[in-house]
Every structure is written in C-alpha cells, then in structure tokens.
Amino acid sequence: MSVLLVAGTRTGVGRTTTVAALAACAIAAGGASPPSVVAVKPVQTGAAPGEAADLAVVQRLAPQVDTREFARFPDALAPHHAAWVGRAPALPFADTVRHIDDLDAAYDLVLVEGVGGLLTPFDPDRRWTLLDLAADLHCPVLLVVDVGVDAVADTALAVARLEDEQIPLAGVLVGRWPAEPDLAARCAVGDLQGLAPDRRLAGALPDGLSSGGRFAARARAALGPAWGGRFDSRAFVAAQVP
C-alpha cells in the first residue's frame, strides 16, 4: 500500500503545503529514478469551476507531481453542506475508494489531502468521513496540526480516535510553525511530540514555506528522515523549552 492520507485537526493548518513538501522530498530522495507521485483532493470546496485551488498550489511547488480532484463545490463549507447548498451530487464513498485504489496501482505514492478534520462529513446522507476512507483503504494517516492553545487537546482527540478505529498514525506534523513562536506554541510542541509515534514529530513546516524559492530544499530541512528530510525533532523541541 502506497497511500498516505494527510488529515488536519482543523481547517487552515497547512495540509496543502504538507502534501507538496512530502511529494517534493519523495521525488528528491529518488535521485535519478524518482518515484511517480500523485496528489489527490477528493473534494475541493470554496472554488469555482476552473479556478486555481489547492492542487494548483501543489503543482506549483512540486511540478513533477500529478494531481486528481474528484468533486468541486463553490461554497466554502464542509463538503456535505457545500453539496447540499449547491444542490449537487455529493461524492460517493465507493467511487472515491475505487478511484484511489486505481491510482495506487498506477503510482508509487498516492497522497490524499483531506478536508476539514477527521470527522468532517463528505455526504449529507451517508455522512462518511476521512476515518471511513482510511479504514476502507487500510492506509495510515499523517496528522497535520497547529500550535495554538487548543492544539494539544485537538491532536490528542484525533490520535485517540485513530487508535479506537485501529487506523495507523503515520506521524504528527506541525503544518505552520510561526517565524516568531509565542509561549503557547513553544509549550505545545513538546506535548505534540509525546503524542507522535516514537515521540518524534514528523516535521515542522515554517509558516510561509509555500512562498519564496528553493521549496524542495526548504521542505527537506523541515521534514524528518522518515519522509526524506533532515529535520531533527528532538533538537527542535529542546530548543523551544521556555
């Protein structure tokens, strides 16, 4: 299985940049024989047809990556509400699983970017979530988190829910590490590391990583060795101790 589901604890934590960083590092680590990578956005909300959205950002940052989007709704709402408000068919669960399975057979790595949190519904009737998708695909989940005052509680709840559903946690990653972290952020990272597998953060992407040049090199500096990078989780956390 070469599918990784990239989920956020909430909206705005940096999932899209994370997907691009993972893809860029995987390709760079492949050297002369880079892996084939596809980034999947099952549902894009808040964007009109033809408008550049999340996958356009991924392609700009990691041009060698292919992309797939299965459904799009113009209203900036959770997918089940966006489908209902737009009077459009919701994304069918079985079709979504089948499409991702087909991509898994064709690519070395499939990165699936979630929408909202783990329990955000996709369908107003069936109300399936990312947890259902991960369970059916038998794929691990990488949690992208923030470092606000509620970050540890949000992450702990998400980790506990994954454990309850027996879905593997691939890692915990800070998606937008501030240039000037406040006391709450500096205190949070130690607790977040304690929730991660082997007590190591998967990385800490600097806020603003998607702007500026040398994206792949900067992504490698912000991702751990398991993801093709050079990030030292323990040294990073130790440096934040108030």
Active site residues: 41
Can you say how many angstroms the Cα of residue 91 is from the centroid of all Cα atoms in its chain? 19
Distance CA 65, CA 53 (A): 15
Coil, helix or strand at residue 13: coil
Distance CA 224, CA 184 (A): 23
- Side-chain half-sphere exposure of 189, counting CA atoms within 13 A: 27
Alpha helices in the chain (DSSP H): 15-29, 54-61, 79-85, 93-106, 130-137, 151-164, 183-195, 215-222, 233-240
Query: How many CB atoms sit inside 10 A of residue 85's CB?
Result: 13
